[in-house]
Amino acid sequence: MEDLKPWWTSKAIWTGILGSIWGVAGAIGILPEGLSQTDVLTVVLALTGIGGVLFRKTATTRIG
């Protein structure tokens, strides 16, 4: 039988969740003072994209 891990232990899932939270914060205008929506969203998209690929590549157990 294949080993499965709970979804909340997945680094790729958490990367997506955190990226989504920042995306929503930027979209509704509740970013910390001094940060522009464009800059934050650009960095968040880049980091979550790279993180998602790297974390998926290093994963050894499927999400169940």
pLDDT single digits (tens) 15-60: 888 888 888 887 888 877 887 878 877 888 888 888 888 887 787 7
Neighbours of 36 (CB within 10 A): 10
Helix, strand, coil distribution of the chain in percent, nearest 5:
65, 5, 25
pLDDT single digits (tens) 7-26: 888 888 888 888 888 888 87
User: Looking at the 3D structure of the chain, how many domains does it have?
Assistant: 1
What is the predicted pLDDT for the residue at 22?
81
The answer to whether residue 1 scores a pLDDT higher than 60 is: no
Question: For residue 48, what are the domain limits?
Answer: 4-63
